[in-house]
Chain A
Amino acid sequence: MLAMALALATTGGGYLLVLAVIVPVIGMLLSLVVGGRHAERIAFALMPAGLGLALAIAIEVWVTGQPLVYILGGWPPPLGIALRADGFSAVMLVTAALVIAAAGYFARGGFATPPGVAEKRAPLAFWTLLQGLWAALAVVFLGGDLFNLYVALELLTFAAVPLVCLDGRPETLAAALRYLLFALFGSVLYLLGAALLYGTYGTLDIVLLADRTAAEPLVAPAVGFAAGLMTAGLLAKTALFPLHLWLPPAHANAPPPASAVLSALVVKASFFLIVRLWFDVMPGLASAAVTTLLAALGAAAILFGSVLALRQARLKLLIAYSTVAQIGYLFLMFPLAIGGHPWSAEAWSGGVMQTLSHAFAKAAMFLAAGVVYEQLGHDRIAELRGIGRAMPMAIFAFGLGGLSLMGLPPSGGFAAKWLLMQASVESGQWAWAVVMLVGGLLAGGYVYRVVAPALDRATVALKAPASRRREAVALALALGAVLLGFAPPEFFDLLQIGRPVAMAALR
């Protein structure tokens, strides 16, 4: 009860949560006012501030060992809205800040308007949308109310969709429209589920709901359908197989910094909410049937996504299908991490680690592919022989990212796989371990397809001079994925803060 009371009152440092949301919003509004010429400068001025805030939140959570809470306007839920940050939110905020800053730095100059040239729409759109997306992500990671989260998720979609079609080519427009319509389909289902849940329990605040579902689970059949509808809606936005129809064209055709952000962060936002839903809101309802179903879809995603990635002719499509596969790994954590078993904590850490390391690795790979495309004018895998010499850092970044996807040490991907496999063995759920191994082998195959010919000694005709800065950005992100493999035990303690079962054990 004490913890419950704590979760409904603003804690020390709670104002940081508000700032983390407001800073990108300010940037977005200012950019709209001053126009495309200065939007870039505003974004770069605010990115360090956002990163600093995210780090401050992570440190505050780690030092206090408790989630941070801010009650908006002093109105406690159920009438008011709360912002909350636990360990998972904090690391996601930091990851988002880093990836967005890297994508922005990669894009620097790409959307600039030289003096004396009439302003185009793309620069303004890119920088405004990037900051809008960032604000929406912050709300998703911090929001404490399921309806509030719905709005955040919609904002995220509205920022992500135009990023796909910034260049206005017909195929990107079609991809964006397809993405938008399927995402809307998913969000209506989520909203329907939220309505049913509110009708049953009279609140959508996560902490209050968790309390009420624990007291009286399944008071009405509506609760079960609410869970099904909300999860399915979020799955559509996460592009879990077989709901991935929109992902490959959208992620493969977007400008590289946008692809990086979409693959690294945007699909993770809806995944984050699925985790919130099943681990925080209604852990009591997560039966073996539910978690096995989610993991089975994840396993199918790993197999299909990896095989399809092996068969793509274009580099960016290969990476996009690899995202389809890697999303699958995330869902393997459900049957392993739910409940208070001895292995649940390591499965939880493994799932979070996979989320983070994939964010860095995939962003690095999309940016590397962007460098390749920029310099060759195409990204046909059959014609990549010898590009390693022309753009060594980009290929190195791609290879390091691939190392993490394959789950080879040292990398965050290895740590994630190790923890998840450990949990699957200890819980006797062998099948998931085998799927992870096969996925790793297939990942090895598609990374090899790109890296081996790239390292050959052959001459390639370059359309544009190499941009070492952009290559370095990709490499920095890939090194981030590698560094996660060296995470100290304290980092894993941070991830456990706010995990419902872990908190129950503390009490």
Chain B
Amino acid sequence: MSGTGTLGTALLVATLAVPLALLLACLSRRLRNNMPALLVLAPLPGLAAALLALGGMPLAFDQPQLGISLALDVPGALLLGVAALLWSVTGAYAFTDLRGKTNAARFSVCWLLTLTGSLGVFIVADLLGFYLFFALASLPAYGLIVHDDDDPAARRAGGVYMAFTVLSEAFLLLGFVLLAAGESHGSLQIRDVVAALPQSPWRDAALVFTVAGFALKIGTVPAHGWMPLTYAAAPIPAASVLSGAGVKAGVIGLIRFLPFDTAMPGAGEMLVVLGFFSAFYGVAIGITQANPKTVLAYSSVSQMGVIAAVLGMGLAAGDHSVALDTAFYAATHVLAKGALFLAVGVTAVTAARRLRPTLLLAAVLALGLGGLPLTGGALAKLAVKAPLGDGVVGLLANLSAVATTLLMLHFLQCLARTAAHEQQAPAGLAVPWQAMALASVAVPWLLYPFAGGNVADALALAALFDALWPVLIGAALALALRRWQNRLPPIPAGDIVEPAERAFSASYAVGSAMERADGWLRQWPAAGLSLLAIAVVLGAATLFGS
């Protein structure tokens, strides 16, 4: 018992310590240049910790003196395990992908930083630690996105990404301050502040800012603009881990910080509306895109919308079980989305005539997102069926599966068009892709029981049919889309980012007005008069203020 406890604690600490140790090793130039080969190892302690936690042992490591408090529950373990798996396999892909490229050392450093944050958010138990790891999962990713800094598109995407990220950090900071202020005993444990939230005098404001911060991270419309730009610009391994694992920092945030123990119908329903709007909006814009990476990004917008909706239903009903359900849903998405980005990378270096196996595997994963029977996606849909219910919301969920199928068939078409002329993918790329694809087919079945599901139920005829019909309708719609594709309006990737950028440029006028005002205030007579005025006003305020 205590033996497992010690092992668990050690693994929990190693989850963060190993990537940090590798980062320290990057101080040496020789090790830094060889770091891509070690990326595959960095997330392995996290994977082991997750397996141990799923084995039934709740892990915890509490060191208030050091300001560190770690804990791993089942929802956290589900996400930690698959995220660590994705980071590891994609690390192997990155090793081959980076060979001979410039900036490989910088990429490795940013990779390790992002990895630490991305795994850290799943295991950290205190407010400030969560904020730290959330920032770590977000900010250094800039270096992953802008890998090729001569590429103007990448630089633009990096800039937009940073703007959204910093905004998200600001909202979260305010949200967390409000959360902490609502906890009267001064505890900074996430568990305690969330428990105190329903009675907090700042309940609504705390909820709004915290959710807004996470919504920016998971790309809920209208905060989705950065995703298509970023994933299109980032190198394949970066896009894979960011869309698969990185975004889940926002999902775990919502899971951890929404007070599910108290029913909040108003807030919950708003989240449901926002979520489903994103779910359909993502598909609607996604089908107008031609770049497979952009299409996948819009699919992420859509899928994260579904997750937000499920969490909203749980919040509205005061149902704590959605935490586990969404964690499982998000875990299947980690695997499938991560693998599909690798498929995009492999396809680009595979000749069209050798493409069939890759496309076939990709099709299974892609349609799985739409809920194709016997895939991880179907299990995920089944897991969130109960909280969504059978009413309008349940119908919307089925329609979103239809829409996702449509989008994914569109993706496969776009993917097939990107095949190379005369090439064969190197094993260093193909093997990680195949491994990830197999994992995303098999692992959900292994995890399903831990998420409270029963595999036999999933194999029942009714369940299979329930999963099948949205896919069939989606396929029919995809045939129609083929015919009408040319009539769709051209929409730039990131749709609302361009108008936002224009509005931002307009704000420069404010800046130049402030510059003129500053120039005037810094004239000697103006500053001297200000000094006298401040003296007089302060004197008067002292005399008459009290």
Do any CB atoms of chain A lie under 8 A from CB atoms of chain B in the complex? Answer: yes
Q: Are B139 and A408 in contact (CB-based, < 8 A)?
A: yes
- Taking a contact as CB atoms under 8 Å apart, the answer to whether B103 and A290 are in contact is no
| CB of B415 within 8 Å of the partner chain | no
Distance A83 CA – B407 CA, assembled complex (angstroms): 75
Given A185-B528, A228-B539, A231-B538, A457 and B173 contact (CB-CB distance below 8 Å): no
Q: How far is the CA of A462 from the CA of B532 in the complex (A)?
A: 48
A311 touches B523 (CB 8 A): no
Within 8 A of B (CB), among A271-330: 284-285, 287-290, 293-294, 297, 303-304, 307-308, 310-311
Chain A, Cβ-Cβ closest to B182: A425
Q: Is A201 part of the contact surface with B, judged by Cβ < 8 Å?
A: no
- The minimal Cβ–Cβ distance linking A260 to chain B, given in whole angstroms, is 23
CB–CB A455/B106 < 8 A? yes
Residue A104 interfacial (CB < 8 Å): no
Which listed residue (A409, A410, A418, A488) contacts B177, Cβ 8 A? A418
A210-252 vs B, Cβ < 8 Å mask (1 yes, 0 no): 0000000010010111111101110110000111110010000
Q: Mark B154-196, 1 if CB is under 8 A from A, else 0.
A: 0100110010001101100110011011000000000000000
User: Could you say which interface size class chain A belongs to?
Assistant: 35 or more
Q: For the complex, give the distance between the alpha carbons of A284 and B538 in Å.
A: 15
C-alpha gap A446/B471 in the complex (Å): 49
Closest B residue to A286 using CB positions: B542
Residues 437-478 of chain A: 1 if any B CB is under 8 Å from the residue's CB, otherwise 0?
100110010001000100111100000000000000000000
Expressed in whole angstroms, the Cα–Cα distance for A506 and B312 within the complex equals 49
Residue A497, interface by CB 8 Å: no
Whether B518 contacts A304 by the Cβ 8 Å rule is yes
Min CB–CB distance B210 → chain A (angstroms): 13
Residues in chain A near residue B521, CB distance under 8 A: 241-242, 245
B457 within 8 A of A: no
Contact indicator B103/A232 (Cβ below 8 Å): no
> CB-CB < 8 A to B528: which residues of A?
185
Given known contacts A290-B542, A408-B135, A235 and B158 CB-to-CB distance under 8 angstroms: no
A227 touches B538 (CB 8 A): yes
Is A486 in contact with B514, judged by CB distance below 8 angstroms?
no
- Interchain CA distance A116-B540 in the complex, whole Å: 63
Instruction: Determine the distance from Cα of A418 to Cα of B176 in the docked complex, in whole angstroms.
Output: 9
Distance of A82 Cα from B349 Cα, bound (Å):
79
Q: Is A426 an interface residue (CB 8 A)?
A: yes
Contact (A243, B534) CB under 8 Å given A287-B541, A311-B515, A452-B158: yes
Q: Within the complex, what minimum Cβ distance (angstroms) separates B505 from chain A?
A: 13
Is A257 among interface residues, defined by CB-CB distance under 8 A? Answer: no
B149 at the interface (CB under 8 A from A): yes
Interface size class of B (residues with CB under 8 A): 35 or more
Shortest CB–CB separation between residue A500 and chain B, in angstroms?
17
Q: A227-B539, A245-B521, A426-B181 are in contact. Are A288 and B173 (CB under 8 A)?
A: no
B103 near A457 with CB under 8 A, answer yes
Instruction: Give A351-397 interface residues, CB cut-off 8 Å to B.
Output: none
A285 and B546 contacting across the interface, CB-CB below 8 Å: yes
**CB-based nearest A residue for B202:** A425
Q: Do A421 and B177 have beta carbons less than 8 Å apart?
A: yes
A410 to B531, CA, bound (A): 37
B527 is contacted by which of A182, A218, A425 (Cβ under 8 Å)? Answer: A182
B534 contact set on A, CB distance < 8 A: 228, 231-232, 235, 243, 297
Query: Are A229 and B539 also in contact (CB < 8 A) when A182-B527, A243-B527 are?
Result: yes
Q: Is the CB of B540 within 8 A of A224?
A: yes
Do residues B177 and A425 form an inter-chain contact, with CB atoms below 8 A? yes
A residues 103-121 near B (Cβ < 8 Å) are none
Q: How far is the CB of B165 from chain A (nearest CB, A)?
A: 9
CA distance A456 to B544 in the complex (A): 57
Report yes or no: A228 in contact with B177, Cβ–Cβ below 8 A: no
Q: At the interface, yes or no: B128 with Cβ under 8 Å from chain A?
A: yes
Would A421 and B173 count as touching, CB distance under 8 A? yes
The verdict on B455 contacting chain A, using a C-beta distance below 8 Å, is no
- Candidates B106, B526, B545; contact of A289 at CB < 8 Å: B545
Is A132's beta carbon under 8 Å from chain B? Answer: no
Answer whether residue A144 sits at the interface, using C-beta atoms and an 8 A cutoff.
no
Q: Which residue of A lies closest to B133 (CB)?
A: A409
B118 to chain A, nearest CB (A): 16
Does B522 have its Cβ within 8 Å of any Cβ on chain A? yes
B interface vs A, CB < 8 Å?
65, 67, 102-103, 106, 128, 131-132, 135, 139, 142-143, 146, 149-150, 155, 158-159, 162, 166-167, 169-170, 173-174, 177-178, 180-181, 202, 510-512, 514-515, 517-518, 521-524, 526-528, 530-532, 534-546
- Sorted nearest first, the 6 A-B pairs with minimum C-beta distance are A228-B539, A287-B545, A289-B545, A224-B543, A232-B535, A228-B538
Can you give 8 A-B contacts (C-beta < 8 A)? A189-B535, A218-B543, A228-B541, A311-B511, A425-B181, A457-B102, A457-B103, A486-B67
Known: A227-B539, A433-B177. 19 other contacts (CB 8 A): A189-B531, A224-B542, A228-B541, A235-B531, A242-B526, A244-B522, A287-B546, A289-B545, A308-B515, A407-B173, A418-B177, A440-B170, A440-B173, A441-B167, A452-B146, A457-B103, A457-B149, A457-B150, A486-B67
